[in-house]
Structure 1
Amino acid sequence: MGAMRACVIVALLFIGVAAARRQKEDDYGKILSMSYKFYEGQMSGELPPWNQHLYSKGGWRKSAHLKDNYNGVDLVGGFYDAGDYLKISHPLGWGVSNLILSMVEFKQAYDDANVWATAVRNMKWATDWLIKAHVKASDNPRDNVFIGQLSGKNDHHYFGRPEHAYNERPIYVADSSTGGADLVGEFAAAYAAGAVLFKAEGQAAYANVLYKHAKQAFAFAEAHPNTWKVPPGVFQAYASYWPEGYIAHLAWASAWMCKYDADMCPTANKWFNNALAVNNLRYGLGYDWDSTLPGAAALMISMSQPSASAAKQYLEDYVLTKWENSGNKCPQPSYSTVCYTPKGLAYYSDWGTLRNTGNMMFMAALMGKYGNNKQAHICWARSQMRYITGTATGKSYLIGYGPDQPKRPHHRQSACSARYTEPCNPFNGGTCCAGESGVGVGGCCDESNFRNPHPAQIVLAGALVGGPDQSDNYPDIREDYQRSEVAFDYNAGFTGAAAGLAQFARSGGLGSCPGGGSSGGGGGSAPNPPSNPPPNTPPPNNGGGNGGGKTIPDWQKCGGIEGNCPASSCGDGKWNGFSCKSGSVCKRQSEYFWMCTPGTRTLAAPAATPLAGGATAAADQPAVPGVDLLEVSAPAAAPAGSPVQLAASLTRMGAPVSGAVVEFVVADSTGNGSATVQAVTDREGIARAVLPVEAAGAAGSSSTVSAVTPDGKAMGAKGTVALSSAEVGITWQ
């Protein structure tokens, strides 16, 4: 009897150990469904009755921007791009075509999650607007006009709800004078992808309309082989990095057209081979709105086209091999390779890194269906999903799912209360409604509220944030658009990865992954302790002034306006009386806030001499191929109250970048004054500007000069402020 009891105990222990080794799977169907909930929160225009967030049904969204138009052509509808209210065709077109690819390849997952009909409705909402955005359609390529960007910095400076927006919304187009094969190639891809989807849905007439637009857009793109640019001096939210990058967009678009119309397949093979012959495209490791060759390769492989063998060698044997090499550890120069963080994230881009990881997870899922090393790709995608959802680490980057979720996404409306009472009046860059005052719960929906560190008052369920740094640090600061922003295109590839993993889980394809085998809910084990981000409010200033000597930990704000400012009023500069710990620096993160950041990497000495007879500093960015370098120069000393010459040099892979907008930001030592001066780089890549007299400091004071550029950007980064220079100082005499 004792022996039998012992056997039972041993058996139970064996079962318990085996069960512990089988990690609980994420709820991929739930993640898939939540993604579309996020997309519906980004809808613009007269919201449809099926929107999941309707204010009239207890939600937080009302119809908005009902007057969007271009010379009288209706542009109401579509989706907001990210945490503001711009509508931008480039990332939208890319996101739509990727979402449709996930629907086509993993339809069973959509059906199982009961989200197919929702996805079809969302895709039609998008393609309907993209048809509107083809504001002049013609079979003559030169006569076509497409909307590239609706609104600009005006929207960045509006912090209210979209239905109350009062800012101007300028529109920039692609036409025969601008060209833009990269931008219009994404129109063609989205139209053709939509044609594939709606033909399968039995909507042949609508599919034919979409495909006609696809042919017109593609003809325009072939006739205008360049990248699209807005007029000089205008803010451009998305600007292609490589001059020859349009070739990959044509490969991506023609691949989709081949999927709809076999007559286009020779053209698709031609453009794919052309793109593969360009080293800057062939050896890039990103996949996003600007780097589309991996997606084109996946399509060619799925259709068994003549170029499929070369496509598989490129995507599976080169790109995914780099991504799946967990032996390459961080830190590494961003955008130059893929490295692994201490907790296991495959890290490529400093700007919205989870966007690129999620996109490549989607490519891995597709190669889990079509590749030679299927199981390895599936298991790698699963491992990265477990990092993103926090199932493996205890820290989630997906709002509404998993442990220790992001609390302060860079999203304007989510910082405000979901419900309010009219009237709502313009106030402080936003609005204040009846009964609202101050910030946080019950506060106004304005700039002060946005910059305050209170948690979001609206949960953006399904939104993927930009993500951590190479050491797994996530500050969770609302102003930090590099790590905290959410966007339509950030979610697109991630949604496809969730669909793929859901389908593989259904068929038992995850069972042989490390710890795989159990299916179901979204909890999961957390073998590592949670990586709780530090609070982003600095310690109280007991005494204030320079004598306070308070030390701010890494990844907390150490300067900037509004929000966490410890004094009664702070300007755009470092906070007086506070400093970062030894080995860290208080570094500008944007035009609005500064953060204590661990020590900078050593750079090669700049080749150029100081540009304006004074100190020169380079961006905190390694001088490696494929990465921009921005240097700023100003005199080390200047007469008080006098104008000062400023200069900046922008290079890409060592070559000067001309025609790029550079903004010089000058802040005085007290943190109570700042000025911004804009210039454009010349043929030598140098931008020159004069700091006006009114921005000069008083005798005995000092100022810091830094520069940011929306044009010089790391590969795949959203082009708001992608690089900022190290600062130089001016002493006023």
Structure 2
Amino acid sequence: MADSRSSVFVILYFCTLFLLCNGNTFRRSHPHKGVHGHSRLAPHNYRDALTKSILFFEGQRSGKLPPNQRISWRKDSGLSDGSDLHVDLVGGYYDAGDNVKFGFPMAFTTTMLSWSVIEFGGLMKQELQHAKQAVRWATDYLLKATAHPDTIYVQVGDAKKDHGCWERPEDMDTPRSVFKIDRNNPGTEVAAETAAALAAASMVFRRSDKAYSRVLINRAIRVFEFADKHRGSYSDGLKSYVCPYYCSFSGYQDELLWGAAWLHRATRNPMYLKYIERNGQVLGASEEDFTFGWDNKHAGARILLSKSFLVQGMQALHEYKSHSDNFICSLIPGAPSFTAQYTPGGLLYRMSDSNMQYVTSTSFLLLTYAKYLKSSHMTVSCGATIITPKTLRSLAKKQVDYLLGSNPKKMSYMVGYGPRYPQRIHHRGASLPSIAKHPQKIECSPGFDFMNTEAPNPNVHVGAIVGGPDQHDMFPDERSDYEQSEPSTYINAPLVGTLAYLAHSFGQL
């Protein structure tokens, strides 16, 4: 008995000591009041993640970097882009870990960054300006790429030759070949996505820079006319250059619906509503097509169009509410039409290559649809199960929490966030020593020595979100595994809005 009492006293002593020493910690961890007045404890620092998710775009910049550039290991690159065809195509973003500028995913990135600002920019506080700068870095380039009527420059760089080298963007000496679409070689999907990007971005700058906003929307109108009038897939005419990297697998019908939806929202011109009414059935794929990403816009277009019915009462678009509901029901475990796949750890899983893009884009759609439903006091019916906006927000939060470290590996899949994150991302600039550390040029082939090493990347690409774990929640953190270890702009873009909502919801902004 004496030994037992001694043990109890010892335990009580150390418990008291722990509480006294960690009082500040407990006070700091006191649950925040959420936006709805509920006490909730945030499992992650969403504000920090938001800052880093936007910062990532500065590490992806091509062109002449501005004086306020915060990613110091990056320098000017691609300063003669476009010279092959005597046009100025300097600027824009490298889409992922290579040094090619692909117009199709860049335009989608721009649309999603803009949508993030449109829906949740009011919650971003001091990060709003950085988010708008990220949008403008893209739109300045897209305006250059669409400067000539009925022509869009859709790619800078020979992808095959670029992938045969491992070079810093600042050193690249691979061909900066320029590829375009025009009346004779159409590319409806790229043109319509570019129109969507310009239209969405025009809304971002409508109050802060009216003149720039007008330039964007006028260009969007012209580019969409070109997309619709001269129909054809860019994967046909430019197949040997854009495939297998960014082939259009879903066709161009989804981009026409998506582009028209954005022009309708940005201009409020009834002609776009008539276009959607007239062509919606033809352009819309089967209702079971629930993928949303750089290639397939069906689910996103449906959610976007549902706002016009839910919030503005446009009865002509009522069918997009039911289409959106079907998308939601496909994601809810236990619902009659549940078709989504989740890993054992709870991550939405669609495919092995860059799966995290579907996680971030779907999470954004969940929060955005929840916002529209709440505004109209509506819910989703999945058979006998009623799904509320709160359920959608909860599912989106769970996906983001997994991404930030609440997963079986206890690893954040955002570089620079949390104590444990990927060290060997598949990214040329991050994996090669910076100009400051290694001023001498690193040639094409010798660069692979850095790619093949087991050492961590010398440059921490803060905010970069990698492709993510496999269907078993496993992640090898190997630089050669581009499917799981490569970051991309279109993974980050939707997450910007989602993180803004979560940071605000948990009192962090």
TM-score of the aligned structures, taking structure 2 as reference length: 0.83
Q: Where does residue 133 of structure 1 map in the other structure?
A: 145
By relative contact order (CA 8 Å, sep 6+), the higher-ranking structure is 2
Give the match's secondary structure for 1:340. coil
2:282 is the counterpart of 1:253: no
Cα 1:505–1:169 change in 2 (3 A) is same
Cα 1:89–1:233 change in 2 (3 A) is closer
The structural deviation recorded for 1:355 is 0.8
Q: Where does residue 503 of structure 1 map in the other structure?
A: 504
The separation in 1 between residues aligned to 2:317 and 2:407, in whole angstroms, is 35
Q: Where does residue 153 of structure 1 map in the other structure?
A: 160
1:477 alignment partner AA: E
Q: Where does residue 115 of structure 1 map in the other structure?
A: 127
Is the CA contact (8 Å cut-off) linking 1:258 and 1:268 kept in structure 2? no
Cα 1:82–1:130 change in 2 (3 A) is same
* Equivalences for residues 1-20 of structure 1 within 5 A: none
Q: Where does residue 309 of structure 1 map in the other structure?
A: 318
Is the CA contact (8 Å cut-off) linking 1:301 and 1:311 kept in structure 2? yes
2:196 alignment partner AA: A
Q: Where does residue 96 of structure 2 map in the other structure?
A: 82
Q: Where does residue 218 of structure 2 map in the other structure?
A: 212
The separation in 2 between residues aligned to 1:194 and 1:234, in whole angstroms, is 28
Q: Where does residue 321 of structure 1 map in the other structure?
A: 329
The structural deviation recorded for 1:115 is 0.8
The structural deviation recorded for 1:19 is 8.2
The separation in 2 between residues aligned to 1:310 and 1:106, in whole angstroms, is 25
Is the CA contact (8 Å cut-off) linking 1:159 and 1:413 kept in structure 2? no
Cα 1:258–1:76 change in 2 (3 A) is same
1:240 alignment partner AA: S
The separation in 1 between residues aligned to 2:59 and 2:217, in whole angstroms, is 28
2:320 alignment partner AA: A
Give the match's secondary structure for 1:164. coil
2:61 is the counterpart of 1:61: no
**RMSD over aligned Cα, in angstroms?**
2.6
Give the match's secondary structure for 2:167. coil
Give the match's secondary structure for 1:476. coil
Q: Where does residue 410 of structure 1 map in the other structure?
A: 426
1:67 alignment partner AA: S
The separation in 1 between residues aligned to 2:85 and 2:43, in whole angstroms, is 52
1:62 alignment partner AA: K
- Count of equivalent residues: 454
Q: Where does residue 487 of structure 2 map in the other structure?
A: 486
Is the CA contact (8 Å cut-off) linking 2:293 and 2:361 kept in structure 1? yes
Cα 1:272–1:167 change in 2 (3 A) is same
Q: Which moved more, 1:297-306 or 1:120-129?
A: 297-306
Q: By percentage of residues, which structure has more helix?
A: 2
The separation in 2 between residues aligned to 1:475 and 1:271, in whole angstroms, is 49
1:207 alignment partner AA: S
The structural deviation recorded for 1:108 is 2.7
The structural deviation recorded for 1:392 is 4.8
Structure 1: stretches of 5+ with no match in the other structure? 1-8, 54-58, 138-143, 329-335, 431-445, 507-518, 521-733
Give the match's secondary structure for 2:114. helix
Is the CA contact (8 Å cut-off) linking 1:251 and 1:271 kept in structure 2? no
Is the CA contact (8 Å cut-off) linking 1:182 and 1:227 kept in structure 2? yes
Is the CA contact (8 Å cut-off) linking 2:257 and 2:284 kept in structure 1? no
2:85 to 61, 71, 84: 71
* Equivalences for residues 507-526 of structure 1 within 5 A: none
Is the CA contact (8 Å cut-off) linking 1:65 and 1:76 kept in structure 2? yes
Q: Percent identity?
A: 30
2:31 is the counterpart of 1:31: no
Q: Deviations over 1:607-650 (max 9, x none)?
A: xxxxxxxxxxxxxxxxxxxxxxxxxxxxxxxxxxxxxxxxxxxx
The separation in 2 between residues aligned to 1:106 and 1:99, in whole angstroms, is 10
Give the match's secondary structure for 1:467. coil
1:284 to 267, 289, 296: 289
Give the match's secondary structure for 1:346. coil
Q: Where does residue 228 of structure 1 map in the other structure?
A: 234
Q: Where does residue 22 of structure 2 map in the other structure?
A: none
Q: Where does residue 12 of structure 2 map in the other structure?
A: none
Is the CA contact (8 Å cut-off) linking 2:290 and 2:298 kept in structure 1? no
The separation in 1 between residues aligned to 2:152 and 2:371, in whole angstroms, is 36
The structural deviation recorded for 1:231 is 3.7
Is the CA contact (8 Å cut-off) linking 2:189 and 2:256 kept in structure 1? yes
Q: Where does residue 358 of structure 1 map in the other structure?
A: 360
Q: Where does residue 238 of structure 1 map in the other structure?
A: 246
Is the CA contact (8 Å cut-off) linking 1:248 and 1:275 kept in structure 2? no
The separation in 2 between residues aligned to 1:235 and 1:19, in whole angstroms, is 52
2:376 is the counterpart of 1:375: no
Give the match's secondary structure for 1:457. coil
The structural deviation recorded for 1:209 is 1.4
The structural deviation recorded for 1:103 is 0.8
Q: Deviations over 1:14-43 (max 9, x none)?
A: xx9x98996533222221111111001100
Q: Where does residue 119 of structure 2 map in the other structure?
A: 105
Give the match's secondary structure for 1:466. coil
Q: Where does residue 449 of structure 1 map in the other structure?
A: 450
Cα 1:376–1:161 change in 2 (3 A) is same
Give the match's secondary structure for 1:234. helix
Give the match's secondary structure for 1:427. coil
Is the CA contact (8 Å cut-off) linking 1:106 and 1:503 kept in structure 2? no
The separation in 1 between residues aligned to 2:339 and 2:178, in whole angstroms, is 36
The separation in 2 between residues aligned to 1:169 and 1:41, in whole angstroms, is 20
The separation in 2 between residues aligned to 1:385 and 1:272, in whole angstroms, is 35
The structural deviation recorded for 1:496 is 2.2
Is the CA contact (8 Å cut-off) linking 1:45 and 1:76 kept in structure 2? yes
The structural deviation recorded for 1:294 is 2.0
1:195 to 188, 202, 205: 202
The separation in 2 between residues aligned to 1:339 and 1:198, in whole angstroms, is 38
Q: Deviations over 1:576-616 (max 9, x none)?
A: xxxxxxxxxxxxxxxxxxxxxxxxxxxxxxxxxxxxxxxxx
Q: Deviations over 1:69-128 (max 9, x none)?
A: 1511110111111001111111111111111111111123211xx111111122111111
TM-score of the aligned structures, taking structure 1 as reference length: 0.59
Q: Where does residue 42 of structure 1 map in the other structure?
A: 60
The separation in 1 between residues aligned to 2:498 and 2:300, in whole angstroms, is 13
2:485 alignment partner AA: S
The separation in 1 between residues aligned to 2:30 and 2:89, in whole angstroms, is 55
* Equivalences for residues 603-614 of structure 1 within 5 A: none
The separation in 2 between residues aligned to 1:503 and 1:311, in whole angstroms, is 29
Q: Where does residue 274 of structure 1 map in the other structure?
A: 281
2:468 is the counterpart of 1:467: yes
Q: Where does residue 167 of structure 1 map in the other structure?
A: 174
2:494 alignment partner AA: G
Q: Deviations over 1:305-338 (max 9, x none)?
A: 43543222212x211222232799xxxxxxx952
Structure 2: stretches of 5+ with no match in the other structure? 1-15, 20-25, 32-38, 374-378, 380-387
2:415 alignment partner AA: I
The structural deviation recorded for 1:271 is 6.5
2:322 alignment partner AA: Q
Q: Deviations over 1:449-498 (max 9, x none)?
A: 11212111111111110011111111111011111110111111122221
Is the CA contact (8 Å cut-off) linking 1:29 and 1:109 kept in structure 2? no
Q: Where does residue 696 of structure 1 map in the other structure?
A: none
Is the CA contact (8 Å cut-off) linking 2:80 and 2:90 kept in structure 1? yes
Q: Where does residue 11 of structure 2 map in the other structure?
A: none
The separation in 1 between residues aligned to 2:346 and 2:439, in whole angstroms, is 50
Is the CA contact (8 Å cut-off) linking 1:248 and 1:272 kept in structure 2? no
The structural deviation recorded for 1:181 is 1.2
Is the CA contact (8 Å cut-off) linking 1:28 and 1:499 kept in structure 2? yes
The separation in 1 between residues aligned to 2:329 and 2:201, in whole angstroms, is 31
Give the match's secondary structure for 1:147. strand
The structural deviation recorded for 1:290 is 0.9
The separation in 2 between residues aligned to 1:252 and 1:355, in whole angstroms, is 18
The separation in 1 between residues aligned to 2:358 and 2:215, in whole angstroms, is 32
Is the CA contact (8 Å cut-off) linking 2:349 and 2:471 kept in structure 1? yes
Q: Deviations over 1:246-274 (max 9, x none)?
A: 12111111111112212144245327723
